[in-house]
């Protein structure tokens, strides 16, 4: 076990003192901010919510269908407007989650926010 970097006794904790992480004993921990297994928490939250993947609106199938029906467009026409195949629009309306780039094209066309950061 490491020694307390402040007084030299047996270190039991880690604390940040004036911006430096040090091994400290029970008494010297009060000179700084105790570090409590923060790494574990960060790892868990990263796994639950990856930063690089924005969430796609759950209303996507409904929004796409309503937009199309309002303009009396076929699935093929809407697909053509975003340079995708008709089957892509069909699958989206059935609840399939398309790749982010497809959602971005729909967002632009429809003018509604479909991605949540």
Nearer to Zn ion, 13 or 104 (CB): 13
Residues interacting with Zn ion, by CB under 5 A? 4, 6-7, 9, 25, 28
The H or E element spanning position 116 is: strand 115-116
Nearer to Zn ion, 6 or 82 (CB): 6
Q: How far is the CB of 31 from Zn ion (least distance, A)?
A: 8
Of the candidates 108, 109, 99, the residue with the CA atom closest to the CA atom of residue 56:
99
Q: How far is the CB of 13 from Zn ion (least distance, A)?
A: 10
Nearer to Zn ion, 11 or 63 (CB): 11
Q: What is the DSSP string of 49-68?
A: S-TTSPEEPTTHHHHHHHHH
Which tokens in the block code for residue 35?
């570090």
DSSP class of 90: H
Q: How far is the CB of 18 from Zn ion (least distance, A)?
A: 15
Q: How far is the CB of 39 from Zn ion (least distance, A)?
A: 23
Cβ contacts of residue 91 below 8 Å, gap of 6+?
Answer: 98
Could you give the CA distance from residue 99 to residue 97 in angstroms, rounded to a whole number?
A: 7
Nearer to Zn ion, 31 or 96 (CB): 31
């Amino acid at each position: 076990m490491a020694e307390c970097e402040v007084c030299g006794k047996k270190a039991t904790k880690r604390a940040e003192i004036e911006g430096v992480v040090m091994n400290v004993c029970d008494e010297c921990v009060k000179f700084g901010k105790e570090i409590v297994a923060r790494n574990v928490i960060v790892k868990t939250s990263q796994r639950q919510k990856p930063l690089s993947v924005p969430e796609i609106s759950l209303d996507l199938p409904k929004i796409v269908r309503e937009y199309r029906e309002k303009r009396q467009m076929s699935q093929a026409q809407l697909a053509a407007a975003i340079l995708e195949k008709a089957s892509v629009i069909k699958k989206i309306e059935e609840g399939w989650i398309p790749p982010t780039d497809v959602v971005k094209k729909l967002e632009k066309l429809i003018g509604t926010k479909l991605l949540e950061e």
